[in-house]
Amino acid sequence: MSSNSDKDTVGVKAEKRIHDQVPSEQYAAFMRTGWTPSDLEGLEPLEVVTYAFARRQVLSAAFPGVRLVLPSGPFKVRSHDTDYQYRPHSAFAYYSGVQGSDATADAVLVMEPTEGGHLTYLYIHPRSTRDTDSFYRDAKYGELWVGRRYTLSEAKDRYQIDTRHLDEIQTLLKDGRETLTIRGADHSIDSIIPSNKGDIDFNTFTSQQRFVKDEYEISELQKAVDATAAGFNDVISVIPAAVATPRGERVLEAAFYGRARVAGNDLGYTTIIGAGSHACVLHWIRNDGDVRMGDLVLVDAGVEVDSFYTADITRTLPVSGKFSPAQRSLYMLVYEAQLAGFAAAKPGVKFSEINKACQAVLAKGLADMGVLPISAEESMQPEVGLHRRWTLHGVSHHLGLDVHDCGHARREDYLDGELREGMVLTVEPGLYIQPDDELFAPEYRGIGIRIEDDVVVTADGCRNLSEDIPRHPDAIEKWMKSLLR
């Protein structure tokens, strides 16, 4: 539906999308009257409220005396006046707790310094009530165009944060008080706040605070993994349709997307569906290839739940339901590498040790197969690394609100940092034999395999949140048989 499709609504401003004209004052007055009151009284606070409060306490203690501004961000334009589905900035989501369809564009969380810490305010564009014109004129915010939002008092009940109208934020932010913000989250907010050398450290801090997950986050990540598991079942169920349909990769992609939207908020990232040698292209998101009997198909997908936490799971499946001997032997090497990665993940160990443990197994396997021209030990020297011709990427990253969570952390605290209880990580070794790789026998060429699971670091090791999604080739064959008959 176009917002300027009829004669009465020409002149829609691209930015605000307000209809310039209404037929008459009589019409405007008529539209304001005759509506049943519909404020929602006594909304229950969300479960996240106490966790978000504790997170803000940590942030407040780290930045005393300074105003902290966390924008949710604007809509992102897809083309002309069509936006993508709205998704708030992760730092805003983390400290506010705002979630699901409650998240509305342009909101800003402000922490005002006081004697003992900070007072928090959630600036929102509240509901366009029936006494405004915007509920029917504003294609961007109007209730009859995009649906109801909370009033200030409803949002306060839900999030237990004092709320203010977004119209007041310009005046506040122009008062000259020292302010730190997450640059790039909302350019209109950036333009009001003078840049501060501390902004980078502020962003780093908000990223690193998310290294260790609280119990609410771990349970949300488990929900994301469980919804993703259901999505993988859906994918397997449509493999016959994918084989029968041109561009069958899209059939698998669509099946997973359906689950993500029905069970969660969205995908946590664009699904990778690599059938045959497309599996050897690490970020194959075109997903426009055929799915052929006898090939493997690599599916890297994650459901983002309403709290915006995402899973990140990869399974490599035989399209026929049965691995060939060459597929199985390469698969088992990746499988063994992943077991070594799980074993390495424990508190006190450097994050990079997980990668080393997986790579050591893969390098030895490649040397045993006779494709590595030097010993595995020599290849494992950081300045040598020949095995990486087939392993291509690191095997772990933090996971949370972002699929590559804590992305603004310092290198020394991330890659070179020590694992701590409560961190959530992927373990995702892979082997990729390009179709034109003459170092491998022909039956191996074009095989790409990755196995990716999501683990939480425990007191003495790690727990696999995605343990219930079959991984061993025998278990995969059994799983597929149960869904494909």
Footprint of ligand GLY (CB under 6 A): 269, 300, 312, 397, 403, 428, 452
> Quick one: 173 or 354, whose CB is closer to ligand GLY?
354
Q: Closest distance between Mn ion and the C-beta of residue 404, in Å?
A: 7
Q: Are strands 108-114 and 67-71 parallel, antiparallel or unpaired?
A: antiparallel
In this structure, how many other beta carbons lie within 10 angstroms of the beta carbon of residue 178?
Answer: 13
- Residue 114 corresponds to which tokens in the numbers above? 């006081």
256 three-class SS: helix
Give the whole-angstrom CA distance, residue 85 versus residue 334.
36
Considering beta carbons, is residue 102 or 405 the nearer one to Mn ion?
Answer: 405
Select from 120, 277, 426, 434 the one that contacts Mn ion (CB under 5 A).
Answer: 426
Residue 384 token pair: 């040598």
* Of 18 and 403, CB closest to ligand GLY: 403
Roughly how many angstroms between the first and final C-alpha of the chain, as a whole number? 42
Is there a contact between 93 and 70 (Cβ–Cβ < 8 Å)? Answer: no
Q: Which C-beta is closer to ligand GLY: that of 404 or that of 478? A: 404
Q: Which segment (18-26, 138-146, 418-426, 430-438) binds Mn ion by CB under 5 A? A: 418-426
Choice between 148 and 408, CB closer to ligand GLY: 408
CB of 216 to Mn ion, least distance (A): 22
d(CA 372, CA 385): 10
Please tell me whether residue 253 binds Mn ion under the rule CB under 5 A: no
Shortest-Cβ-distance residue relative to ligand GLY: 300
Residue 269 binds which of Mn ion, ligand GLY, none (CB < 5-8 A, kind-dependent): ligand GLY
What residue has token string 């469980």? 226
In the complex, the smallest distance separating the C-beta of residue 452 from ligand GLY, rounded to whole angstroms, is: 6
Residue 450 three-state SS: strand
* Interaction between residue 405 and Mn ion (CB under 5 A): no
85 in Cβ contact with 51 (< 8 Å)? no
Instruction: For the segment 442-481, give every residue that binds Mn ion (CB under 5 A).
Output: 452
Q: How far is the CB of 339 from Mn ion (least distance, A)?
A: 18
| β-pair partners for 406 | none
Nearer to ligand GLY, 247 or 393 (CB): 393
Angle, in degrees to the nearest 10, between helices 49-62 and 198-208: 140
Residue given tokens 């305010």 in the structure block: 121
| Distance in Å, CB of 468 to Mn ion, minimum | 18
- Residues 344 and 462: their CA atoms lie apart, in Å, by 9
Q: Minimum CB separation from ligand GLY for residue 273, in Å?
A: 12
The count of residues interacting with Mn ion (CB under 5 A) is 4
Q: Which chain residues interact with Mn ion by CB under 5 A? A: 300, 312, 426, 452
